[in-house]
Amino acid sequence: MKAADASWLEIICPPLVALGLLLILLATTTSYAFLPGAAWKPAAALGIAGLKAAIVMLTFMRLQKASATVRLVAISGFAWLALLLTLSWLDYATRLS
């Protein structure tokens, strides 16, 4: 029975470690945003969000062990998104008045 319990924990150990990291990042990003006068707040918030998303996608969504085809499809969605955001923003950034 004891051996069975140990392996039960062993099975869910990777998701639990990921969860711990994600909660630490949540606490970090929230406290940094409320820190008076801290620099680069938008970049920090976006960077930590990206890190959290990467942890979820690599461990929970198992992209780490996925095939090349699946990874390609997953990355392409975000590549189109990057194009959409960059080009929309460039339009406004380059307007003269």
- Quote the CA–CA distance of 12 and 28 in Å, as a whole number: 25
Q: Which is nearer to other proteins, 3 or 84 (CB)?
A: 84
Give how far the C-alpha of residue 44 lies from the chain's centroid of Cα atoms, to the nearest Å: 13
CA distance 81 to 87: 10
Least distance from other proteins to the Cβ atom of residue 37, Å: 7
Measured from the CB of residue 59, what is the shortest distance to other proteins in angstroms?
A: 7
Of 2 and 7, nearer to other proteins (C-beta) is: 7
> Which CB, 1 or 41, lies closer to other proteins?
41
Applying CB under 8 A, which residues contact other proteins? 7-8, 11-12, 14-16, 18-19, 22-23, 26, 29-30, 33-38, 41-42, 45-46, 48-49, 52-53, 56-57, 59-61, 66-67, 69-70, 73-74, 76-78, 80-81, 84-85, 88-89, 92-93
Cα–Cα dist 35/22, whole Å: 20
Element (H, E) at 9: helix 2-34
Helix%, strand%, coil% for the chain, nearest 5: 85, 0, 15
